[in-house]
Amino acid sequence: MPGDVERVVPMANKGERGWRVLVLSADRSGDLSATISLVAEVFPTINEDDLLGRVHRERVDAVVLEAGSPLIDVVSLIHDIRARQKSTRFLPILVAVDRSEVLLREQAFMAGATDVIDLPIEAIETKARLEQILRSRSWHAQLAESDATLERERRETAAARHELMPREMPQLPGWEFAARIRNLGRFTGDSYDVYRVSPNRVVISVADALGSDVVSLIRLAMVRGWVRAVCGRAGTVAEAMEELNALMLDTFGDDGRFVTLYLGFLDPATARLVHGCAGFIEPVLWGESTSSQLTLGLEGGPPLGVSSEVVYRESELVLDVGSRLILGTHALQREHVAPGSLAERIAAGSRLSATRMAEQLATGEPHPGEGSSASTRDVTFIVIQRRREVPVEPG
């Protein structure tokens, strides 16, 4: 009728939501169960053992216990429910207790009750309170599921990243190539590749794609493929980096998700290394004769995928016998701006084999001065050592 106001009170649709509540109560009047049934399906239990058994056997969304009854030790029961399984640790437990039983209410909360329901029962408030708790539980369950899915994806991404790494390092007389990853179970966008494309060229690449998601993994995989394709035919490192930069920009645009890259062409016969960096932190060259870090003064350019208006440059050096080149994807973690820490660790491990040094650098405890970010990120270290002067047979 015009002018009439119809008040629509939405009813909780327990069938649709399918919430299941176990109730242990004397509840002689039946008010408690009747109120709960407005929101959820009620499953009465006959005693504490029955309730505990069903909590762990059946899918339950909440438990309602009536305190004050001599047959129910609410505090012990809450402890038992919480202690038994991980799945019931956060199960909503509501305790129905007389409004005047202040001490019992406090004990229930101290024992881990989620909320209390006042007795005698106030149906509208109880219904609203229970509905809110059950709704929160549903949200938490959804969040937990999403978290588990994300975690699984992260682990799968991390595992896929490892598939990009070479199965083994080149075995060449007079040289030791070693790589180690500090793997914290999460994906970060770093990867390396060391392989021989011709008698006079061993390609060494270390790439770090910005980000820690599937997009980074895809970029990393593509860059690795491009490096393999380009470095087999490129005349120089600088040319290769320019081509890789162009491929990055053509494929992904300049959206800020850049890739840093170290690229080196090593001639194992002459120990001549031609190399360059695209935003990658300069490697450390450690000299055996001087037992010190030697300055590389490596040329290079910004990371790949930043700008088409850059010219990449390369540098050249001959690795002396006993010297080693150390490459790390620790770039821009805090220790890098805490001067000395990495160099000190390299100096401490200078008498170790390349393999042991890479292990120590990658898996060693963060050095004092390394910030918190150092321990939350995977790090890859590659150590290349010229061991002794043994000429490499061409081919």
Partner 1 sequence: LELILDGKDETLTIRIIGELVATTCASLREVVTDSITRKPKRIVLDMSGVPFVDTSGLGVLVGLRATLKTNKIDLEVVNPSERVVNVFRLTKLDGVFGISSG
What does DSSP say about strands 41-44 and 20-24: parallel, antiparallel, or unpaired?
parallel
Contact 237, 283 (CB under 8 A): no
Q: Which of the ranges 12-20, 140-148, 257-265, 286-294 carries the binding residues for partner 1, by CB under 8 A? A: 257-265
In angstroms, what is the minimal distance from the CB of 178 to partner 1? 24
Count Cβ atoms below 10 Å from residue 175 Cβ, excluding itself.
21
* Residue 310 binds to partner 1 (criterion: CB under 8 A): yes
* Residue 191 binds to partner 1 (criterion: CB under 8 A): no
Among 177, 258, 262, 381, binds partner 1 (CB under 8 A): 258
Q: Which of the ranges 38-46, 53-61, 126-134, 253-261 carries the binding residues for partner 1, by CB under 8 A? A: 253-261
- Strand segments, DSSP code E, in the chain are 20-24, 41-44, 62-66, 93-98, 115-119, 175-182, 189-198, 201-209, 259-267, 272-278, 284-287, 292-294, 300-301, 315-318, 324-328, 379-386
- In order of 77, 86, 113, 134, 216, the CA distances from 51 in angstroms are 9, 17, 16, 19, 50
Q: Which of the ranges 169-177, 274-282, 283-291, 341-349 carries the binding residues for partner 1, by CB under 8 A? A: 274-282
In angstroms, what is the minimal distance from the CB of 185 to partner 1? 17
Among 302, 322, 364, 369, binds partner 1 (CB under 8 A): 302
Among 230, 306, 384, 392, binds partner 1 (CB under 8 A): 306
Q: What span, in angstroms and rounded, lies between the C-alpha atoms of 243 and 263?
A: 13
278, 169, 359, 315: CA torsion to nearest 10: -30
In angstroms, what is the minimal distance from the CB of 83 to partner 1? 35
In angstroms, what is the minimal distance from the CB of 378 to partner 1? 13
Tell me the number of residues near partner 1 by CB under 8 A: 30
The count of C-alpha atoms lying within 13 angstroms of the C-alpha of 119, restricted to the half-sphere facing its C-beta, is 24
Q: What span, in angstroms and rounded, lies between the C-alpha atoms of 267 and 392?
A: 9
Residues between 2 and 61 that touch partner 1 (CB under 8 A):
none
**Residue whose CB is less far from partner 1, 76 or 376:** 376
Residues between 329 and 388 that touch partner 1 (CB under 8 A):
331-334, 336-337, 373
**Residue whose CB is less far from partner 1, 36 or 298:** 298
Among 30, 256, 340, 391, binds partner 1 (CB under 8 A): 256
**Sign of the C-alpha dihedral, residues 101, 106, 108, 114?**
positive
Amino acid at site 200: N
3-state secondary structure of 326: strand
- Residue whose structure tokens are 């491990």: 349
* Residue 278 binds to partner 1 (criterion: CB under 8 A): yes
* Residue 301 binds to partner 1 (criterion: CB under 8 A): yes
Residues that bind partner 1 (CB under 8 A): 208, 210-211, 253-258, 260, 277-282, 300-303, 306-307, 310, 331-334, 336-337, 373
